[in-house]
Amino acid sequence: MRSRAVHFVGSFPATNTDAAMRAMSDTAGPLLHTLPTGETRRYEYYVRPILEELVAAGVLEVARPGQWRSLRDVPRYRVPHGRTLTGELIDLGYSREAAEAIPVFTALRETRDLSGTALQIGMPTDLSLAVVALRARGLWSRRKPFAQATGREIAAIREAAGDEVVIQLEATAELVSMAMTQPLHRTVDHRMGLGRGIAALAAAAPEGTRFGVHLCLGSLHNKGLPLRTARPLVDLANSLARQWPSGRTLEYVHAPFAAGDRPPATRERFYAPLADLSLPAGTRFYAGFVHETPTEAQQRKTLTSIEAALGRRVDGVACACGLGRRPRAVADALMARAVALAGV
């Protein structure tokens, strides 16, 4: 039986893009459908470098300082008095990251078994950026400029890399909103257009652009919002899939299950909603449960539970989020474990 794929969410603890991409390709090359850049510019605090660059450029200013030690300690930003926030002013840096990664990726494809692998460029959705930057004020009035800037980055990356790139949209604000409002999360999705907003980013991209979606629960200091059940992520995945635009391929959906170490008494109930997952034909489902805390034997049981609820094999295994906030030795061990679990 063919091995499942291995998926790396994006970030990796390396000093540069070349080292990060080589480490991931050396460990799991033949099992990768996409190879991320390692996001070495922003792996530790995810959007922090982006926001700090916007502050340095005068696009935003710090309204209340913070040290990023916890969610309560994240800085608060605002638009400087007398300025108007527009998409033209916002440089998110993803196309610069892609420009650095493209020659590395090209060289690796020539020397590794990566013939069916695409370059992966991850970026938070416009809603996720707006909420972190501007809190509740970012939900509506300030979201549009971030969408415009994200769309400009996607178009530039697509022009530079063509069909050899997959854009990974990272939906943190969307999934956290769903998880926090359960059992009213479907109403929240409808009223706030959570799934619709993710699909709208894809619709604004050039026709033929390839996408993946990373459903994210946050990972500040490797701690994400806990889920009581897989229902919110299943409903969000189904919502964005229903509204996905034609002419743009949804390559995969990645779902975070943290360590996946549910007690036997609640495991079946937690994963049961996966039976209702409805993705477009050809869209792969990646289960994000690879973690350093449980043993490999325990994680095999988790994989069995996930696939029993789903009613089929998952298309790939992954961690719940990126590897960048872990020590390098732990990241290496998790990559090796993902490869082992992919072949179970």
pLDDT at 43 over 70: no
How many CA within 13 A on the CB side of residue 19? 10
d(CA 36, CA 227): 26
Domain containing residue 69: CATH number: 3.20.20.210
- Return the bridge partners of 252, or none: 212, 284
| 271-303 pLDDT, tens digit each | 999 999 999 999 999 999 999 999 999 999 999
**Which of the four pLDDT bands, split at 50, 70 and 90, describes residue 16?**
very high
> pTM for the whole thing?
0.94
Residue 203: Cβ within 10 Å count: 17
d(CA 193, CA 16): 37
Region 67-77: mean pLDDT is 79
Domain that holds residue 132: 5-342
pLDDT at 189 over 80: yes
Mean of all residue pLDDT scores within the chain: 91
* Matching residue, tokens 């990272």: 170
pLDDT for residue 134: 85
Region 309-316: mean pLDDT is 97
Phi, psi of 47, rounded to the nearest 5 degrees: -90, -5
Split into its structural domains, the chain has a count of 1
- Return the bridge partners of 121, or none: 167
| 112-160 pLDDT, tens digit each | 889 889 999 999 999 999 988 887 655 666 789 999 999 999 999 999 9
270-290 b/e (C-beta count within 10 Å ≥ 16 → b): bbbbbeebebeeebbbbbbbb
Task: Report the sign of the C-alpha dihedral through residues 63, 66, 68, 69, in that order.
Answer: negative
- Strand 316-319 and strand 284-290: the pairing is parallel
H/E segment holding residue 11:
none
Which amino acid makes up residue 287? A
